[in-house]
Structure 1
Amino acid sequence: MNHFQSILSRVQMLLSSHQPSQVQAFLDHLLAEQLLSKEYHCTLLQEPDGEALARKISLTLLEKGDPDLAFLGWPWSELQAPEFEMDLDCGDHNVLVPVI
């Protein structure tokens, strides 16, 4: 299995077994770790196709060189759905983001 397939498998597993709010929290985590730009974060939040989302995240992690950084300390099992508010910084689309 090549490196991309390995990353893709991990991302698919994470995305398939969690609620949309948890997936959004993971994308927020990637943004906070500076693995995504604000613009790309907004784009990924609006991706309707789960497989396409998994591929885009995997390609981004592969490109950044250290995909394990995105998964380190990520508390999926303890994660609770955060409170959300509208993020008007995502262009013309209204996107819900966690209240910090």
Structure 2
Amino acid sequence: MRLHANDNVMVTKGRDRGKQGHITRVDSKHNKVVVEGINIVTKHQKPTGAFQQGGLIKKEMPIPAANVSLLCVHCSKPTRISYRYLGDGNKARVCAKCEEVIE
């Protein structure tokens, strides 16, 4: 998967379109990401144990990775990711718009 944890992304599809946030978790098996502050749902939680309090909790749920695009740190625009081999032989992610190395 081309997206990694702590990447700054913009949501391109769905009810949270246009919002930005950092990726907190990546599920590459199901091709989904969890973005902080995006796709928040209200869940009913039963009390468990002596200290856990039940009630309504708000939780961030995964969204498809195809519905977000990476924000380039150099040009500050949502962009696709391409790869390029650097001079030392390492493979690096590159912004498709400004062709600067990401990270």
Higher relative contact order (CA 8 A, sep 6+): 1
More helix by share: 1
Would the TM-score normalized by the shorter structure come out above 0.5?
no
More strand by share: 2
Q: TM-score band (shorter)? A: under 0.3
When the two structures are superposed, what TM-score results if normalisation uses the length of structure 1? 0.25
